[in-house]
Structure 1
């Protein structure tokens, strides 16, 4: 069990940080914690692979972002519904050279008073390295309950048997690392996988559903309780997508389908007024979606202290 509380306390963390790394809120009776796993530096060219570079450059200028590389935020989520504690994605892990500011979620979870051994369920939105890599860290593997249930779409498991990178545009070393990481994840946790096909209720008010697009088995997590809603959208959208939902991201295995999924989720969230959290929106990434003409607008919540 964990408390929903964003108030800093003397001695509440066992390591020093200059910025907040977790954000707590409630969705009806469901306690929610958004935890930053850190940031991952990436070339800005991966943000839009189907447009004139000058158009991307102009957008970066307008957003006061650097032209060559940017820090990709990494967010994971923890939800408590009844007696179940559900971890949604697990970040990058600290085993990859060159990413010293990623792989932070285990110690940040501990600082929030959440024991990994208490996690009853893990939902994997998709099996890219920055979503399952954290589960391959020895300390994490040793601390997890051996009976933890790991929920992942059947289409995702099938895809990583023979993954197709033909429509992606990633830095050269990345596909091999993604492939190897997915293989290691399946080898380590296959006996704990709980495979679903289209939609599965993991806990009261906590539903994972297949969207496809980013990967064939990409899924989102919907929380619903007491008339309130929150969707953890994984990699269905990125910051640039609100202005340009049709721009393709280099990590999308089916860019056209990804755009359709993204626009559908934007429209759904604008219609319901539910909260949005996503893996790679700036921490804590809690906000809502508004529609303005042909574009969408991300409306961040005001932090509640």
Structure 2
């Protein structure tokens, strides 16, 4: 995977108005952000601990809602030496009602990266919109036999008997999450490599346990030649900059999620590093600035 190849792909699928991928370099490492599409969610899932009026005011100010909004889905690809690392795998196509999600496999191909080239997959956590893409038959058949799939041991253990008592998800979701996590472990059990607090996946690419959103949630840091980018997974949501204390309905430990989110935002503001997150609007690339005691998202200017 070369930056000049993925930045200027050979073709664009007819149903994509623009190529839904964005290439950049972090030092000597090549990085590609791919949109897996969007899925519609109730606005209340972004703010389960605030009043309907406060929620409506924020979404109105963002020209979103009032009742539903499109939740972005992004995955990351990093080339480090001979390794090509996929971070998360999107939703997949097996869930009815989400026809605009599950796009990453064909968009990866359109970027000139065959699935067979992926050497490593890092799963930030085992929710269905992060592992579902690996359960698509075509993806499973085409991944190389020696692919390494990295997940924290805490995450794998959690999904043996998951606790949903602190979440506020739509009623059908917990059962789907349970079954999808179980299918993922069954499908890839011999390829899953668990790790503890931190794992060096490749030179310049490190996965680090954060907990919060799920007990085994991790982020992925890409560092080279003094530059750094963090893929935050589900530690950050669109509302999290203005209101980092607002709970997300999919968080298994909302209070711990707030602590993780604030720590991550403070660190990003201090380092000036680039951030990417699963559910920020594509290409989800920017920096965090401190505005008094508040955080401010500064989206990167597209380089094209």
Fold conserved (TM > 0.5)? yes
Equivalents in 1 of 2:72, 2:59: separation in Å?
16
SS, match of residue 191 in structure 1: coil
Aligned position for 2:80: 81
SS, match of residue 3 in structure 2: coil
CA contact (8 A) 1:4 1:31 kept: no
Structure-to-structure mapping, 1:94-243, within 5 angstroms: 94-243=93-242
Structure-to-structure mapping, 1:229-268, within 5 angstroms: 229-268=228-267
CA contact (8 A) 2:48 2:168 kept: yes
Equivalents in 2 of 1:298, 1:6: separation in Å?
26
Equivalents in 1 of 2:132, 2:106: separation in Å?
15
1:20: how far off? Answer: 3.1
SS, match of residue 171 in structure 1: coil
1:189: how far off? Answer: 0.5
Task: Confirm or deny that 1:90 pairs with 2:89.
Answer: yes
1:5: how far off? Answer: 5.8
SS, match of residue 299 in structure 1: strand
Equivalents in 2 of 1:14, 1:238: separation in Å?
29
Task: Confirm or deny that 1:2 pairs with 2:2.
Answer: yes
CA contact (8 A) 2:6 2:32 kept: no
CA contact (8 A) 2:221 2:228 kept: yes
Structure-to-structure mapping, 1:286-305, within 5 angstroms: 286-305=285-304
1:66: how far off? Answer: 1.4
Equivalents in 2 of 1:4, 1:26: separation in Å?
10
Equivalents in 2 of 1:220, 1:276: separation in Å?
11
1:16: how far off? Answer: 3.6
Summarize deviations over 1:155-207 as a string: whole Å, max 9, x none. 00000000000000011100000000000000000100111000010000000
Range 214-223 or range 54-63, more displaced: 54-63
Equivalents in 1 of 2:259, 2:4: separation in Å?
35
CA contact (8 A) 2:231 2:276 kept: yes
The 3 A distance-change label for structure 1 pair 32 and 192 is same
1:289: how far off? Answer: 0.4
1:4: how far off? Answer: 4.2
Equivalents in 2 of 1:197, 1:4: separation in Å?
35
Q: Which runs of 5+ in 1 are unaligned?
A: none
CA contact (8 A) 1:245 1:259 kept: yes
1:243: how far off? Answer: 0.3
Cα-Cα RMSD:
1.1
Equivalents in 2 of 1:292, 1:6: separation in Å?
36
Aligned position for 2:23: 24
SS, match of residue 179 in structure 2: helix
Structure-to-structure mapping, 1:31-46, within 5 angstroms: 31-46=30-45
Equivalents in 2 of 1:102, 1:286: separation in Å?
20
Task: Confirm or deny that 1:51 pairs with 2:50.
Answer: yes
1:61: how far off? Answer: 1.1
CA contact (8 A) 1:25 1:31 kept: yes
Summarize deviations over 1:7-30 as a string: whole Å, max 9, x none. 556x52344411330000000011
> Once superposed, which parts of structure 1, at least 4 consecutive aligned residues long, lie more than 6 Å away?
none
Summarize deviations over 1:50-83 as a string: whole Å, max 9, x none. 0111101111111111110000000000000001
